[in-house]
Structure 1
Amino acid sequence: MTLTTITPNPVSLRALSHPVRVRALGLLRVEGPTTATALASRLGLNTGSTSYHLRQLALHGFIVEDTERGNGRERWWKAAHKSTLASLPAPTDASAGETYDAYLQAVAVVYVEMLQRSLEERPLLPSAWRQASTLSDWTVRVTPARARKVVDTLAKMLFSVDDEDDDEAEQFVFQLNAYPFPGHLGRDTPEGSEERE
């Protein structure tokens, strides 16, 4: 991978606003280069459908052809970046806002699927990995500015964690989900109140 992250524009983000593409990109990032046929098997799709989704990801710069692999008959694909950072669009850009929301919906679908699979596989894990895993949540009262600061701090910490040179290291998922408690936003604070930390 040549770049660590990609921040897609709204058009590119729209191309990623599909759970199959989020899954495919995630697998390429974690498991490395592969063909449409092999990826189709992992995704539970046919090769034609998988090829279409891969072409869309390539068109928007999320993946590239791996020219060092293959035999001319099958194309190999690899992720172009380690992660995607989607920027919140301006409040006045309704179309970009809808695209951003659609992308978040696709990501949420994939996160829930991954979490469910991890729970199904949990009994098979060695004890050390079971003990390292958790499902925890904290509901706290914060301002928007403080919430953003906490999210940024956690993200920065997670970006710095990578034991790729350690033989005992394995792929380990940290899902960072941070949002106002559903149904409570605005109940305690007047609309338009200023942000404070």
Structure 2
Amino acid sequence: MSTGPVVTPTPQQLRALTHPARLRMLGMLRVDGPATATSLARALGLNTGATSYHLRQLAEHGFIEEDTERGNARDRWWRATASSTRTAPPSPDDVEGQDAAIAYLQSVVMVYAGQLQRSVEELPLLPQPWQDATTYSDWIVRLSPSGAAALRERLEAVVEAATDEEGEDTAPYVVNLNAYVRPGVLGEDR
């Protein structure tokens, strides 16, 4: 897993992440470590030309870099430059930032939905302890904006406090935190 710093992208960098294949590649490089365009293409079901193009875009925007300690001129390896991407809400008057953030988040949702679907499909194949550790739960709680922000911060702190465990029975464990106002309940006039 990549252990680099956390990156907070600019609107231009966010635009580079609006393609779901790029998000998946970046995620794979962060979790699985360095890889070649060929191995990523195989894992993602893409051709190597498209994969190479997406890798160059990620590198151009600083999300990945060539791993010069591996491979050769014909066999280029890539690695992530940061372990996580965090987005800060753009100011309301930053139209470019707002548009880039929404486009990025649309891609994030597509990638998350695909991962969730694959997780459900594979659930019956998992050993029982992993099935028991899996949940697809939701809660709806009435909160003020400050109460909602406080809850989100506490949940983030719990996840960030978790440390990687070593051992034969460990595996990458995905935690997606999606916290938002229920769509359609706040009108334009509120």
| TM-score, reference length from structure 2 | 0.95
Q: Counterparts of 1:5-154 in structure 2 under 5 Å?
A: 5-154=6-155
Distance 1:127 1:155 in 2: 27
Distance 2:101 2:68 in 1: 32
Please give the secondary structure, in 2, of the residue aligned with 1:3: coil
Q: Partners in 1 of 2:21 and 2:69 — Cα distance?
A: 26
CA distance in 2, matches of 1:100, 1:17: 9
SS of 2:182's partner is: coil
Q: Deviations over 1:108-135 (max 9, x none)?
A: 0000000000111111100000000001
Task: Describe the SS at the equivalent of 2:83.
Answer: strand
Instruction: Give the whole-Å Cα distance in 1 for the aligned partners of 2:6 and 2:167.
Output: 23
Q: Take 1:81 and 1:27, find their aligned partners in 2: how far apart are those partners?
A: 12
Q: Which runs of 4+ in 1 moved over 4 A?
A: none
Q: Deviations for 1:76-126, whole angstroms, at most 9, x for unmatched residues?
A: 001111110011101001111010000000000000000000111111100
Deviation per CA, 1:32-89: give whole Å up to 9, x if none: 1100011011111100000010011011111111111113211100111111001110
Q: CA RMSD in A?
A: 1.4
CA distance in 1, matches of 2:144, 2:181: 10
How many correspondences in the alignment?
189
SS at match of 2:5: strand
TM-aligned CA distance change 1:26 to 1:2, over 3 Å: closer
Report deviation, 1:159.
Answer: 1.5
2:186 paired residue number: 185
Distance of 2:133 and 2:5 partners within structure 1: 26
Q: 3-state DSSP class of the match of 2:84? A: strand
* TM value normalised by structure 1: 0.91
Identify which range, 65-74 or 121-130, moves more after superposition: 65-74
Q: What's the CA shift for 1:2?
A: 5.8
- Rounded Cα–Cα distance in structure 1 between residues aligned with 2:187 and 2:88: 24
